[in-house]
Amino acid sequence: MSERRTQMLEAAVRVIAQDGVRGLRVEKLAAEAGVSTALIYYHFKDRAGILRAALEHVNHRAQTYTSGVVPDDPREQVEQMLLGELQDTEHVRETSVAWGELRASAAFHEELRSTLLTATDAWNADVETLVRQANPDVDAAAAAERLTALVEGLSERWHSGSLTLERARELLSGAIERELG
């Protein structure tokens, strides 16, 4: 991916995290990225193209902080991957809020659904593989889906101030322990 395109996608994530999908205006995105609106349209064609590319970029960003150092134990890998989504850093918060905004907007923007489904399926598959390695006796697909959905819900509650980060992490750790047996 070109450096300029990455710059525009990073700006899109910031704008979406701050103003939501409805607040994403091409003019504001261009100003945030320090480029012309024509360049935005050149790279993404239209607003729907920006949203799809931003969703893919958010997913890629999340992978960078959930797949770092990998312990040998699959249980620890599951916990590290999922708890990686609940970190009090600007990068993680921004990524998580943008993901939540994009996910919620898919209810109204049908063109986001296939990209969202692909990203969600890949995340579930990664967690499912680790769950199966950690405990072959559980329904790994169901456990993975429950755990990833829980991460999203806990993240939304944390970001909205309904739950502390510490409590969110505690609840997630408990759920991982229960799911893995």
Closest residue by Cα to residue 29 from 48, 50, 45, 49: 50
pLDDT by residue (tens digit) across 78-125?
999 999 999 999 999 999 999 999 999 999 889 889 999 999 999 999
pLDDT by residue (tens digit) across 73-89?
999 999 999 999 999 99
Q: How many whole angstroms from its chain centre is CA 22?
A: 18
**Token code pair at residue 103:** 């996910």
Helix 113-134 and helix 140-159: axis angle, to 10°?
120
pLDDT by residue (tens digit) across 48-62?
999 999 999 999 998
